Chains A and B, each alone.
Chain A
Amino acid sequence: MSDVLDALAIGVKSGLGFQAIFFALLAIGINVHFGYTGLLNFGQIAFAMLGGFGIAISVSQWGLPFWVGVIVGIVAAVVLALLLGLPTLRLRADYLAIVTIATAEGLRLLFRSVSATPVTNGTRGLSAFNGSFIALAPWDTQRRYDLLGTSWSGGELWVALVGWTLVALSCLLVWLLMRSPWGRVLKAIREDEDAVRALGKNVYSYKMQALVLGAVFGALGGMVYAVGTGSAIPDQYQNANTFLAYAALILGGAARVLGPVVGSIILLFILQFADTLLRAFISNGVIPEALLSSTDVAQIRFVLVGIGLMLLLVFRPQGIFGDRREVMLDAR
Chain B
Amino acid sequence: MTHAPHRALVHGERTGPPGAPSGRAARGRRPLVLALLVAAFAMALATLLPAGIANAEGEAVRGTLQTSKSGPIEGVEVTVTDSSGDEVGSVETDDEGRFRVELPDGPGEYTVSIDADALPDGVELGDAGAERTVTVQPNAQQNVLFGLEDGSTNSGGGGIRAVQLLVDGLRFGLIIAVCAVGLSLIFGTTGLTNFAHGELVTIGAIVAWYINVQGGVPLIAATLIAMVVGAGVGALHELALWRPLRKRGTGLVAALVVSIGLSLLLRYAIQIVYGGFSNPYGEYQSQQAVNYGVFTMTNRALASIVIAVVVLVLVALMLQRTKIGKAMRAVADNRDLAASSGIDVNRVILVVWMMGGALAALGGVLLGLSDQVQWDMGFRLLLLMFAGVTLGGLGTAYGALVGSVIIGVFVQMSTLVIPDDTKYVGGLLLLIVILVIRPQGILGSRARIG
Contact = CB atoms under 8 A, between A and B. Distances in A.
A299 interface: yes
A106 B424 contact: yes
B428 A106 contact: yes
Interface in A250-294: 250, 289, 292-294
A141 interface: no
A32 B171 CA distance: 42
B435 A306 contact: no
Interface string B1-42: 000000000000000100011011100010110001101110
Contacts of A109: 40-41, 421-422, 424-425
Nearest to B390: A98
A114 B126 CA distance: 15
Given A97-B193, A102-B432, A110 B425 contact: yes
A309 B275 CA distance: 23
Contacts of A310: 258, 261-262, 265
Interface stretch (A1-9, A84-92, A146-154, A176-184): A84-92
B260 to A, nearest CB: 6
Contacts of A93: 253
Contact of A105 (B193, B383, B432, B449): B383
Interface in A277-332: 289, 292-296, 298-300, 302-303, 305-310, 313-314, 317, 328-332
A93 B251 CA distance: 12
B76 to A, nearest CB: 25
Q: Could you say which interface size class chain A belongs to?
A: 35 or more
A103 B16 CA distance: 32
A306 B261 contact: yes
Given A98-B390, A106-B429, A295 B20 contact: yes
Interface in B427-443: 428-429, 431-432, 435-436, 439
Interface in A93-128: 93-95, 97-99, 101-103, 105-110, 112-115, 123
Interface string B399-435: 0000000000000000000110110110011011001
Interface stretch (B77-85, B266-274, B366-374): B266-274
Contacts of B450: 91-92, 332
A112 B260 CA distance: 25
B134 to A, nearest CB: 12
A174 B51 CA distance: 52
A329 B254 contact: yes
A317 B387 contact: no
A103 B41 CA distance: 17
A99 B419 CA distance: 22
B252 interface: yes
Contact of B432 (A42, A103, A250, A313): A103
A243 B254 contact: no
A40 interface: yes
Contact of B268 (A99, A112, A250, A303): A303
Nearest to B254: A329
B386 interface: yes
B172 to A, nearest CB: 17
A281 to B, nearest CB: 14
Q: Could you say which interface size class chain B belongs to?
A: 35 or more
A99 B431 contact: yes
Contacts, number: 163
B265 A306 contact: yes
B118 to A, nearest CB: 27
Nearest to A193: B450
A91 B257 contact: no
A240 interface: yes
Given A98-B390, A293-B21, A293-B23, A105 B428 contact: yes
Given A102-B386, A306-B261, A115 B421 contact: yes
A309 to B, nearest CB: 3
A53 interface: no
Contacts of A156: none
Interface in A131-149: none
Nearest to A305: B264
Contacts of A314: 245, 248, 250, 258
A307 B20 CA distance: 28
A178 to B, nearest CB: 20
B244 to A, nearest CB: 9
B96 to A, nearest CB: 26
A299 B271 contact: yes
A293 B26 CA distance: 13
Interface in B235-290: 245, 248, 250-254, 256-258, 260-269, 271-272
13 contacts: A92-B450, A98-B431, A101-B383, A292-B272, A293-B21, A294-B20, A305-B261, A305-B264, A307-B265, A309-B261, A310-B258, A313-B250, A330-B252
Interface of B: 16, 20-21, 23-25, 29, 31-32, 36-37, 39-41, 193, 245, 248, 250-254, 256-258, 260-269, 271-272, 383, 386-387, 390, 394, 418-419, 421-422, 424-425, 428-429, 431-432, 435-436, 439, 449-450
Given A299-B269, A302-B265, A313-B250, 18 more contacts: A87-B432, A87-B435, A87-B439, A93-B253, A97-B193, A98-B390, A102-B387, A106-B425, A113-B419, A115-B418, A235-B36, A235-B39, A246-B257, A300-B272, A302-B268, A305-B264, A306-B265, A314-B248
